């Protein structure tokens, strides 16, 4: 096995469709590959979500799993390191940020809203206007709505939200990005 080469994969959109489980074919390919080359996964999701998507058996075969944007590191299924955003910016800033997002989203109208609009992870705050508890069908509908009306990019929603977030927290070393068709 070549120790100087490692294959690094993202989960959502690479090994799996976003928020879906890995196919049997992809699992077979990874198991064949890991016999010759060390494998690693990187994901914004937590280790439990990664495991549920690619399977516990597969996670134990990977040399490394960098979950929560690399803040939590597992090797062959065992946690070896972790840190979190609270240590980076502090509780006060996090609460102000979360409260701001919730207040902002409570004042917009969308065709559907479900629960879990804010998800706290070790390395990020996931803001999801439609709600992370939406079904796959509702996610797809939101993505179509967003594409048609540019909701996340319009002055009425996220661009203005993103500008406000960046202006308000620019000195706190926080950044904003689109992670998929439904989140900021």
Catalytic residue positions, numbered:
10, 12
Give the other-Cβ count within 10 Å of 136's Cβ: 11
121 is in an annotated binding site: yes
Distance CA 168, CA 133 (A): 28
12 is in an annotated binding site: yes
Distance CA 41, CA 173 (A): 26
Supply 19's token pair. 């928020």
Place of tokens 């540019």: 150
112 is in an annotated binding site: no
What's the chain's length in residues? 184
Task: List residues bridging with 171 in a β-sheet.
Answer: none
19 is in an annotated binding site: yes
Distance CA 40, CA 62 (A): 6
| Cα-only R_g, the chain | 18
10 is in an annotated binding site: yes
Supply 71's token pair. 């803040």
Question: For 34-49, b where at least 16 C-beta lie within 10 A, e where not — what string?
Answer: beeebbbbbbbbbbeb
Place of tokens 């294959």: 7
Q: Residues forming the annotated binding site?
A: 10, 12, 19, 121, 132, 139
Q: Residues forming the annotated binding site for alpha-D-mannose 1-phosphate?
A: 19, 121, 132, 139
Q: Residues forming the annotated binding site for Mg(2+)?
A: 10, 12
């Amino acid at each position: 096995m070549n120790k100087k080469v490692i294959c690094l994969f993202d989960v959502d959109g690479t090994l799996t469709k976003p928020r879906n489980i890995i196919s049997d074919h992809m699992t077979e390919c990874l198991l064949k590959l890991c016999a010759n080359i060390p494998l690693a996964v990187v994901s914004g999701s937590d280790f439990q979500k990664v495991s549920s998507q690619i399977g516990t058996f597969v996670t134990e075969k990977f040399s490394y799993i960098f979950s929560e944007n690399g803040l939590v590191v597992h090797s062959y299924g065992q946690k070896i390191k972790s840190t979190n955003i609270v240590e980076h910016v502090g509780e006060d800033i996090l609460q102000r940020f979360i409260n701001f997002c919730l207040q902002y989203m409570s004042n917009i109208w969308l065709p559907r809203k479900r629960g879990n609009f804010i998800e706290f992870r070790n390395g990020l705050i996931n803001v999801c206007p439609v709600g992370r508890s939406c079904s796959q069908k509702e996610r797809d509908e939101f993505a179509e709505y967003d594409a048609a009306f540019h909701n996340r990019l319009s002055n009425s929603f996220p661009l203005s939200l993103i500008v406000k977030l960046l202006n308000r927290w620019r000195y706190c070393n926080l950044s904003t990005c689109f992670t998929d068709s439904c989140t900021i």
